[in-house]
Structure 1
Amino acid sequence: MTYAIIGFGKIGQALAHAFARRNIDVTVASRRPPEALAPQARAIGPTVVARSLQDALEADTIFLAIPFWEHRELAKALPSWKGKTIVDVTNTFGVSPEELDGLPSSAFLAKAFPGARLVKGFNHLVAPILATDPVVEGGHRVVFLSSDDEDAVAPVAALAKQLGFAPVTLGKLAEGGALVHARGRIWGPLIFQDLFKKEQ
């Protein structure tokens, strides 16, 4: 399984720290050329490698850590997204429900990526917390996952565990997923909840 993070702002870098901490290879890319990202990528860790956007899109699992509306331009980068898993890390605070056709933001986003398997996740923690070690005092920081494709959730949950998080599956995007979505100017009730799951 290969991984890429698209977007290398605060959230993209926080995710890169999570991969580096567990020595898991990940490609990072953005609209900027890879040589512009390379110094920061190297500073995070040797398993974090800056590549071109087109190279990053060859990964099996792609984390979207970009401003929400940029997904439409990114979606044009591949003729088909079949076989790809997209982890939607975006948030849409301030985007009206009308702009999203009344859909949860991830369901709206998914329409732009035909053939992809979409999982909403890793979006409820602010960057400074997401960047820190999720194993704290014998507990694991929780990440929430939701998807309309049940088969897509399991490998993302397994990766979350590998990264040291405790994945909690919330069900479909319109049900449990709504708990971590912004709607208009209202955050979902689980956004910014820094929860821990204790070791059994």
Structure 2
Amino acid sequence: MSYAIIGFGRIGQALAQAFARKNIDVTVASRRPAEALAPQARAIGPTVVARSLQEALEADTIILAIPFGEHGEVAKALSSWQGKTVIDATNALVALEDLEGLPSSAFLARAFTGARLVKGFNHLVAATLAADPVVDGGHRVVFLSSDDEDAIAPVADLARQLGFAPVDLGRLDEGGALVHARDRVWGKLIFQDLFKQEQ
């Protein structure tokens, strides 16, 4: 399984640190050229490699760590998203009417036709996401939701590999609504830093 993080701001870099901590290869890309990202990528760790957006989109699993409003441009970069898993780590700070009454990830998913979309890694602030998720014998929780039941398992496996404790919230419009940020309306779990103790 190959991984890419699209967006290399605070959240993108925090996710890259999580991958580097576990020596998992990940490609990073943004609107900036790969050469501009390369020094910071190298500073995070040898498993983090900056590439062009087009090269990064060759990965099997793509994490969106971009401002919500930029998702359409990323979606246009591939003619087909069939066979890809897209992890939506964005928060939609846009007016509710702009989402046509949908959860933000359901709205975003329409641009990535054919992809398996999972909401995840969006509820922790960058500093927390970048820190070691193993704390006092427990693991920081990451919430996952998707309208594709089969898409959750591999993303949950990735979360566990990164040291987190995944919690499946179910469909986007049900449990997933608990972690959606839309406009200034925050889901009930959006900034909860919860831990799961090892059994």
Shorter-chain TM-score bucket reads over 0.9
Matched residue, 1:13: 13
AA paired with 2:19?
A: F
Task: Report the alpha carbon displacement of residue 184 of structure 1 after superposing the two structures with TM.
Answer: 2.8
Task: Please give the secondary structure, in 1, of the residue aligned with 2:185.
Answer: coil
CA deviation map 1:67-89 (0-9, x unaligned): 00100111110111000000000
Task: Please give the secondary structure, in 2, of the residue aligned with 1:133.
Answer: coil
AA paired with 1:153?
A: I
Calculate percent identity across the aligned residue pairs. Answer: 81
AA paired with 2:169?
A: L
Structure 1: unaligned runs, 5 residues or longer: none
CA deviation map 1:105-143 (0-9, x unaligned): 000000001100000000000000000000001000000
Pairing 1:42–2:46 present: no
Q: Which runs of 4+ in 1 moved over 4 A?
A: none
Task: Please give the secondary structure, in 2, of the residue aligned with 1:179.
Answer: helix
Pairing 1:24–2:19 present: no
**Separation in 1 of the partners of 2:28 and 2:71?**
16
The number of equivalent residue pairs is 199
- Aligned pairs (5 A) from 1:114-133: 114-133=113-132
Task: Please give the secondary structure, in 2, of the residue aligned with 1:144.
Answer: strand
Task: Please give the secondary structure, in 2, of the residue aligned with 1:43.
Answer: helix
Under a length normalisation based on structure 2, what TM-score does the superposition of the two structures give?
Answer: 0.99
- Aligned pairs (5 A) from 1:1-200: 1-93=1-93, 95-200=94-199
Task: Report the alpha carbon displacement of residue 185 of structure 1 after superposing the two structures with TM.
Answer: 1.3
Task: Report the alpha carbon displacement of residue 97 of structure 1 after superposing the two structures with TM.
Answer: 1.7
Is the contact made by 2:91 and 2:182 (CA closer than 8 Å) also made in structure 1?
A: no
**Separation in 2 of the partners of 1:98 and 1:187?**
15
Task: Report the alpha carbon displacement of residue 183 of structure 1 after superposing the two structures with TM.
Answer: 3.0
AA paired with 1:86?
A: V
**Separation in 1 of the partners of 2:64 and 2:172?**
16
**Separation in 2 of the partners of 1:84 and 1:169?**
20
Structure 2: unaligned runs, 5 residues or longer: none
**Separation in 2 of the partners of 1:155 and 1:45?**
24
Task: Report the alpha carbon displacement of residue 96 of structure 1 after superposing the two structures with TM.
Answer: 1.8
Under a length normalisation based on structure 1, what TM-score does the superposition of the two structures give?
Answer: 0.98
AA paired with 1:19?
A: F
**Separation in 1 of the partners of 2:38 and 2:74?**
21
Aligned alpha-carbon RMSD (Å) = 0.6
**Separation in 1 of the partners of 2:25 and 2:14?**
15
